[in-house]
């Protein structure tokens, strides 16, 4: 996009496409040009009113057509002129004269910034009028909501990043709140704005002492289903309200959480993402507390929630006015202090470390590579089998390799089946998947144990050899018989009380019955035995010859390293990191190391 060499932190300016005014700024970062600022806009004051009667469409030569320009690489705000006065002359009743021009514009960064300035200008201009001209009617609120909805769409979210004014998202929120404060509610409950990305609902407050509380429910549109938000004023707070307090207004923003930026640095105590829903409230002054119920958009069992309020002056989230009363799988109940006429609230989500996305990617990429490699391993064994199984020891060595590969391949397949959400919801299927996963993972370890015993047998027994049929019988008893006994006993003892599987995954239970020990103890015991075998091989390999030279000593060191490198994964020593993952409060790093070493 930019000519010339990319040297940090140099900038490059490019002009916008035809029919757009402004510039695009690229900054050199890590030897690549990256877009950092965009002011391309097709909107202007003249375009907003181009379809109006010439008699009412007065000249605005003194007004700029853009909300900002770039001069010598520096962002310079430029006044748009008093658009509100122009609107007040052209369509004072409903603002409909500018809606089509706004809705038909592309959601470029420049156009988003222009529309934010437009909405901000309208809200500010409204404060200068009194009486009927200063009130917000339902028609005004609907059209104001349509313009805000246009720049809150999911296609617009990524373009907010390149707006020079980093307060733009906060300005939008404050402008909508300021505008809604002048809205008059006449009915008992009214849906005023019902757009996809902004919804507004109002209701009259009854001061009847027979009512336990005042409730306002808002079904907010989501991609797949409506998400419910409820506002409640407790009876005691309701009684303390002045008699002229008569209405409540709620404004819901499903996508604003992805846009709203904490300009002065995020609150370090709240390093968690927004749940995706922000609720603004316009309630009577003098109200002390409210109860908010948010239905979670992410209903994962592994998430916890925190109730927060947007601090308009600091432009950051603040947890002090709210406390989380109740946090269930689907909903969060918040008790919040209310101190101003308009305030905005949301909930923040945090994930448990073992539910980390990086771990998921490592696990499933690793398993895919592992499955492909294991299939390839079995194909190679089938091709070379007749040439490599010459002696009894070599025959049993390759029998072990084939059964290790088969056990791990089958265990991986069952593990992937168990990660399917539909399987997890069906208890019987989940029990079956857990049993086979448990059995084949144990078979993997017991075949690795038998492989280690074969190595010891080869070192210690030189002149006398066991019959192949006897070795085969011992191998299959150890490799499949022992795991079957352990797996059957585990499911028989724990399943009658439904303590065999976990509630959130198809794997051995830990919290109730500690069934996981039926896998962890045999596996770690085998890892310990195999580690001793590797040490024995290293000691046996390093025996020096009489009168050996330094070059021969180096060859021994290389041979030891080679043996250890081959035997470490083959005998399952990397699973020793599993001991750290069993301990509560283990750092995420150990889970990542364990996944990297064993998924592949």
| Domain CATH for 392 | 1.20.1070.10
User: Do 474 and 538 share a structural domain?
Assistant: yes
User: Do 170 and 301 share a structural domain?
Assistant: no
Mean pLDDT for 450-476 is 80
Main-chain dihedrals φ then ψ at residue 248, nearest 5 degrees: -135, 140
**12, part of any domain:** no
Both tokens of 14, joined, read 């490019």
User: Do 221 and 275 share a structural domain?
Assistant: yes
CA 443 to CA 250: how far, in whole Å? 59
**16, part of any domain:** no
**10, part of any domain:** no
Angle, vertex CA 438, rays to CA 432 and CA 439, nearest 5: 90
User: Do 528 and 478 share a structural domain?
Assistant: yes
Angle, vertex CA 344, rays to CA 339 and CA 349, nearest 5: 120
H or E element that contains 320: none
Question: Which residue among 184, 211, 237 closes a domain?
Answer: 184
Q: Is the pLDDT of residue 416 over 70?
A: yes
**288, part of any domain:** yes
Mean pLDDT for 293-301 is 71
What was the pLDDT predicted at 440?
95
User: Do 226 and 152 share a structural domain?
Assistant: no
**281, part of any domain:** yes
**510, part of any domain:** yes
Question: Which residue among 355, 371, 392 closes a domain?
Answer: 355
User: Do 262 and 368 share a structural domain?
Assistant: no
CB atoms near residue 242 (< 10 Å)? 11
**91, part of any domain:** yes
Task: Using the CB atoms, write b or e for 334-360: b if 16+ within 10 Å.
Answer: bbbebeebbbbbbbbbeeebeeeeebe
> What would the pLDDT profile of 103-159 be if each residue is shown by its tens digit?
999 999 999 999 999 999 898 888 777 766 678 999 999 999 999 999 999 899 999
User: Do 291 and 336 share a structural domain?
Assistant: yes
Q: Strand 274-282's sheet: what is its strand order?
A: 189-194, 199-204, 247-253, 274-282, 342-351, 303-311, 316-318
Domain CATH for 250? 2.60.220.50
Both tokens of 589, joined, read 């790093």
Pair type for strands 68-71 and 74-77: antiparallel
What was the pLDDT predicted at 506?
83
Q: Give the long-range contacts of residues 17-25, CB within 8 A, separation 24 or more.
A: 20/108, 20/110, 21/65, 21/66, 21/110, 22/66, 22/69, 22/70, 22/110, 23/70, 25/70, 25/73
How large a percentage of the chain has pLDDT more than 70? Answer: 78
Q: Is the pLDDT of residue 400 over 60?
A: yes
**68, part of any domain:** no
Domain CATH for 93? 1.25.40
User: Do 450 and 408 share a structural domain?
Assistant: yes
User: Do 522 and 443 share a structural domain?
Assistant: yes
Helices (H), 184-332: 235-239
User: Do 207 and 179 share a structural domain?
Assistant: no
Question: Which residue among 184, 209, 238 closes a domain?
Answer: 184
CA 130 to CA 147: how far, in whole Å? 24
- Bridge partners, residue 311, by sequence: 316
Domain count, the chain: 3
Residue 432 structural domain: 357-543+551-599
User: Do 170 and 196 share a structural domain?
Assistant: no
User: Do 364 and 474 share a structural domain?
Assistant: yes
Q: What is the pTM of this model?
A: 0.56
Span between the terminal Cα atoms of the chain, in Å: 40
> What would the pLDDT profile of 8-56 be if each residue is shown by its tens digit?
778 888 899 888 989 999 998 888 888 999 999 999 888 888 765 544 3
CA 145 to CA 197: how far, in whole Å? 9
């Amino acid at each position: 996009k930019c000519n010339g060499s990319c040297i940090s932190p140099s900038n490059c300016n490019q002009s916008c496409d035809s029919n757009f005014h402004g510039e695009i700024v690229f900054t050199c970062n890590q030897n690549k040009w990256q877009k950092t600022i965009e002011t391309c806009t097709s909107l202007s004051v003249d375009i907003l009113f181009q379809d109006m009667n010439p008699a009412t469409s007065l000249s605005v030569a003194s007004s700029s057509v853009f909300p900002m320009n770039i001069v010598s690489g520096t962002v310079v705000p430029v006044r748009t002129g008093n658009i509100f006065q122009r609107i007040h002359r052209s369509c004072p009743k409903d603002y409909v004269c500018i809606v089509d021009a706004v809705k038909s514009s592309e959601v470029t960064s420049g156009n988003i910034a222009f529309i934010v300035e437009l909405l901000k200008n309208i809200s500010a201009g409204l404060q200068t009028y009194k009486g009927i001209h200063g009130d917000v009617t339902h028609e005004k609120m609907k059209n104001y909501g349509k313009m805000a909805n246009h720049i809150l769409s999911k296609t617009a979210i990524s373009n907010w990043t390149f707006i020079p004014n980093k307060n733009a998202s906060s300005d939008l929120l404050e402008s909508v709140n300021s505008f809604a404060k002048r809205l008059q509610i006449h009915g008992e409950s009214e849906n005023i704005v019902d757009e996809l990305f902004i919804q507004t609902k109002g209701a009259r407050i009854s001061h009847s002492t027979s009512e336990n509380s005042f409730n306002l429910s808002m079904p907010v549109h989501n991609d797949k289903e409506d998400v419910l938000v409820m506002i409640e004023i407790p009876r005691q707070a309701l009684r303390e309200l002045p008699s002229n307090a008569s209405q409540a207004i709620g404004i819901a923003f499903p996508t604003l959480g992805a846009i709203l930026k904490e300009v002065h640095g995020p609150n370090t105590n709240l390093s968690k993402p927004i749940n995706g829903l922000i609720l603004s409230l316009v309630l009577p002054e003098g109200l002390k507390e409210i109860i908010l119920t948010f239905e979670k958009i992410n209903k994962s069992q592994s998430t916890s929630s925190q109730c927060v309020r947007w601090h308009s002056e600091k432009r950051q989230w603040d947890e002090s006015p709210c406390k989380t009363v109740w946090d269930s799988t689907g909903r969060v109940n918040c008790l919040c202090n209310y101190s101003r006429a308009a305030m905005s609230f949301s909930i923040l989500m945090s994930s448990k470390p073992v539910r980390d996305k990086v771990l998921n990617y490592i696990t499933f990429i690793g398993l895919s590579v592992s499955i492909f490699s294991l299939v390839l391993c079995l194909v190679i064994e089938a091709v070379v089998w007749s040439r490599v199984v010459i002696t009894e020891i070599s025959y049993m060595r390759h029998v072990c390799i084939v059964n290790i590969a088969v056990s791990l391949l089958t265990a991986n397949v069952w593990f992937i089946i168990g990660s399917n959400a539909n399987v997890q919801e069906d208890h019987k299927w989940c029990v079956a998947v857990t049993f086979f996963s448990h059995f084949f993972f144990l078979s993997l370890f017991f075949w690795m144990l038998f492989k280690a015993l074969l190595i010891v047998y080869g070192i210690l027994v030189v002149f006398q050899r066991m019959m192949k049929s006897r070795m085969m019988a011992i191998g299959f008893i150890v490799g499949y018989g022992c795991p079957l006994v352990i797996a059957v006993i585990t499911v028989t003892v724990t399943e009658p009380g439904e303590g065999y599987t976990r509630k959130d995954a198809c794997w051995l239970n830990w919290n109730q019955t500690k069934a996981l020990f039926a896998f962890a103890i045999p596996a770690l015991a085998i890892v310990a035995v195999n580690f001793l075998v590797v040490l024995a091989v290293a000691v046996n390999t390093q025996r020096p010859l009489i009168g050996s030279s330094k070059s021969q000593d180096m060859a021994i060191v290389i041979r030891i390293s080679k043996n250890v490198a081959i035997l470490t994964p083959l005998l399952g020593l990397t699973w020793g990191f599993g001991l750290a993952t069993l301990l509560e409060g283990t750092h995420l790093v150990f889970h990542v190391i364990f996944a990297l070493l064993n998924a592949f």
